[in-house]
Amino acid sequence: MTQKDLGYVELEWTCPRCKGRNPGTQATCSTCGAAQPENVNFETPAAQAAVTTDQAKIDRAKAGPDIHCGFCGARNPADAKVCKQCGGDLTQGKAREAGKTVGAYGETDAGAKVKCKACGEENPAAAVTCAKCGAPLGKPAPAAAPAQAAPAPSGLGGGSVLIFVAIGLIVVLGLCAFVFFGFRTSEKTATSTGAHWERSVAIMGMVPVRAQAWQNQLPSNANNVSCRSERRSTSSSPQPGAREVCGTPYTVDTGTGMGRVVQDCEYEVYDDYCSYTTLQWAVVNTVVEKGNDFAPRWPAVNLTGDQKLGTRNETYVCELNDGKNNYTFTMRTQAEYEECLAGSEWKIEVDGFGAVVSAVPVN
Ligand SMILES: [Zn+2]
Ligand SMILES: [Zn+2]
Ligand SMILES: [Zn+2]
């Protein structure tokens, strides 16, 4: 994040004694003459103006925070050696705090008004005292804030929580029962009624596929390229060709009655992101050979020049019957499969879903 300087504006402070508003650079109240106490903060002015071109005020803002006299409390510029009010030595004084955000910055529209609390007269926002009765004017009322939504009902009532807990408990118990009975196995004796095998080979070919990449990362065989500009990265500092994105300007207290207007910006770097066509190996066909004998064979494969062999798969299934139900069991190896001769006896474990979990030949 880069903090951009937009310039300086004069802040204001409100006299705690008479409620009169005063320009930030002024150390004593123009209505009652009281000095600004150290604990009275600078605020966004009631009428925000464009950043100042007054070099004296800019120099003042850059000089560093003002110092409150250690003897009388009066505010003096950073470069003063003795208090302008009591003549006291300012090295005993205390510098004002600086660096806090005062508020958002934006020029007030010219028609903004502030209403006199004493007589009701509408005065221009910049006015400090009422044109009609002379009373000090407060801050203009803030723009009507959207009506506060009614607070959301605070969660669920105790009763419905109990119902949810009960439903949750039932679901959990149901799942436990399902798992328990589903995976509990029973042992049976079964006879082989048949067997079958299947072997397959995938055939790979070069297939055009659409892919996407940044322009400088396109593969050499990319064609049919179409690009569009997209954000590639975000930088905290300015970059050539980057798009600057800035937040709302805001004012920072300098401790002098002047505010420094700044804006946080970052820089979006754009680049060409392209979609393109390239050739990639992909499965173009799968050839399969099946049988129900005990001499499994791989399917015959005829490759053309731009093809190659892909994954091979083989499955061997033993068909069983326990006198009541038919079962199938997929053998782990061809050697196991070869024991599944018709009429052979097997000890099988069947789970609650009717699936054979294990099968061992009975000798
Ligand atoms: Zn005052
Ligand atoms: Zn003093
Ligand atoms: Zn008035």
Q: How far is CA 14 from CA 89, 175, 306, in A?
A: 27, 69, 85
The answer as to whether 34 is a domain residue is no
Question: Same structural domain for residues 190 and 292?
Answer: yes
The tally of domains found in the chain comes to 2
Question: Same structural domain for residues 235 and 293?
Answer: no
Tens of pLDDT along 217-253? 999 989 999 999 999 999 999 999 899 999 999 999 9
CA of residue 37 to ligand 1 center, whole Å: 11
Tens of pLDDT along 123-151? 988 888 899 998 888 777 665 444 444 45
Question: Same structural domain for residues 195 and 229?
Answer: no
Ligand nearest to the CA of 28: 1
Considering only CA atoms, which of 17, 30, 6, 21 is closest in space to residue 126?
A: 21
CA of residue 9 to ligand 1 center, whole Å: 22
Q: Report the pLDDT value the prediction gives residue 147, as an integer from 0 to 100.
A: 47
**206 contacts 305 by C-beta, under 8 angstroms:** no
Question: Same structural domain for residues 341 and 244?
Answer: no
Which tokens hold the place of 343? 């009429």
Q: Greater confidence, 52 or 152?
A: 52
The answer as to whether 71 is a domain residue is no
Q: Report the pLDDT value the prediction gives residue 157, as an integer from 0 to 100.
A: 60
CA of residue 14 to ligand 3 center, whole Å: 17
CA of residue 41 to ligand 2 center, whole Å: 19
List the domain range (segments joined by +) for residue 192. 186-203+287-361
CA of residue 18 to ligand 3 center, whole Å: 14
Q: Report the pLDDT value the prediction gives residue 71, as an integer from 0 to 100.
A: 94
CA of residue 31 to ligand 2 center, whole Å: 20
Question: Same structural domain for residues 241 and 305?
Answer: no
Q: Report the pLDDT value the prediction gives residue 149, as an integer from 0 to 100.
A: 46
The answer as to whether 190 is a domain residue is yes
CA of residue 90 to ligand 2 center, whole Å: 8
Considering only CA atoms, which of 208, 206, 201 is closest in space to residue 302?
A: 201
Ligand nearest to the CA of 121: 3
The answer as to whether 3 is a domain residue is no
**Domain-terminating residue out of 255, 277, 299:** 277
Q: How far is CA 109 from CA 47, 50, 103, 247, 318, in A?
A: 8, 11, 17, 20, 87
Tens of pLDDT along 26-42? 999 998 999 999 999 99
CA of residue 6 to ligand 3 center, whole Å: 36
CA of residue 112 to ligand 1 center, whole Å: 24
The answer as to whether 245 is a domain residue is yes
Question: Same structural domain for residues 352 and 224?
Answer: no
The answer as to whether 316 is a domain residue is yes
The answer as to whether 333 is a domain residue is yes
Tens of pLDDT along 282-332? 999 999 999 999 999 999 999 998 899 999 999 999 999 999 999 999 999
